[in-house]
Structure 1
Amino acid sequence: MALYQVTRNTASTAQDLNQVINLLTGTDTSTPVTVGNRISAKMSGATAASAYVGGVQYGPPYGAGTFAQGDLAIDTVYGMPWTCYTASGGPYPQGAWQSAGAGGLVARWYQSYWQGLNSGSTLITLDTPSFDPNSMWDTSVWGYIIPTYGTWAVTGAVHRWYGSSGNYRCHPVLRLNGAEVARGDDGEVPGTWGGGGGVEAQLVCNPGDLIQLICYTNAPSPGHTDVLYPARTYLSLYFVGAQEQ
């Protein structure tokens, strides 16, 4: 159904008013409506003003716009709402925003081949995406580039085979901007040839931060990641939320 066109500079007709009533009451459900300002609602018992202001990507609407306390925006990338709790002005030109609820899986990469490991630390080169619609993985640095401030849940694992058996340790490690922030269990059985361990952490990150997966081992002949099941070596990223100020 096409939206009825009102002729400018003429008196409104009964047909004009009827269409507006049909849109507001829900009688007409087939016509999309776009407004150039916030959409507000206030029922009895809901004493504070609140309004929907539109969709955003990678966090709240910073950079442009004037927003009021109670404004609501939906993040179409992270699948979560943002609520303005401090109106625009002062130190917050576009207001201060709080995420409501947790977002979902943002990206997951894994290995499709085995990788040789060094004694000490080896940067794990994940080459295959199982999910990364926003292209956050950077193969030039073998890591995720964080697009927005917030808390990120990171989980990963390294599954490997030793070149020689022995009572060696082999840990998956998470690095944030080159510094170790979490070290997982080695997942090895002493005296055997292989195994796997996992690592996880919740990290508060800023835009441009780099998250990488490392394998650390003290084995003199550390071997390589799993030949038969390379996809067991992976790194996943979830957006938990953020309070923007």
Structure 2
Amino acid sequence: MVHFSKARKRPPIKPTLRTSDVTIRSSTKMAASLLSRRVAIFHAVPSPKSLAPAIFSGGVVQQIAKYNPKPLRFNLKDPYIPDKGSEKTLEWQKTAKYDRKLFGRYGSASGIDPATLWPSSAQLDAIVAEEKEWHPPLEDMLKNIAAKERELDEKRREREKLIAANMAKMPKMVADWRREKKEAKQKQKEDKARREWLLAEARERFGHTLDPRSPKFQEMVSEIEKEEKKKRKLLKRRKKDEEQGMTTTPSASAAAS
């Protein structure tokens, strides 16, 4: 006896989506949404000629709007001429500049006398002065250039004279600088030696080393300076006495003779 086994049911095969299909579907959805938005924006435009056809590039919809304005045409048969005597007329429409504009646009139809459009004598003088200042003739420009060149030459000569004078003083300046430098070094050595002598003097007086910033050290320095001043005064007096004695001896010898 043959037993037939039941056939197994195969599970349903799920459709697989490729990345390219997903990209195409997403791009088409995005393009459709963009197109609907653009159409919603431009649906109020009365004529379809003002809208360019949609351009598909790289999955993106680009909608270009066209606008062809009509050329501005002047109404030569019935031009607009403002009434200057009316209060409703704007101030800038009452000026001579606007009159020139109207005459240039409509000509004699504007009703403006062209003789009134010419500048006055004062305005002509101002125009001539401006032209002389900003647009001088060639001769004046050449004269100005020559004057500037002479001025530059004079400045150069003065600078050369100053440099020559300073170079002549250079040896003396170098000698003075060397002497000052030597004196500064000598003074520095003397100050150092005096400081060491003062420290040694303080050590002898007080039996220990003192800080130069201490009040005891400062008092000692002031006392030493006073003593030195007294000594200098005594030396000056002795010199004066010696000089006076030298001057009195020849006078006394002359009187004795």
TM-score for both structures, normalised by structure 1: 0.19
Report which of the two has the higher share of strand: 1
**Which of the two has higher C-alpha Rg?**
2
Point out the structure with the larger helix share: 2
Structure scoring higher RCO (CA < 8 A, sep ≥ 6) equals 1
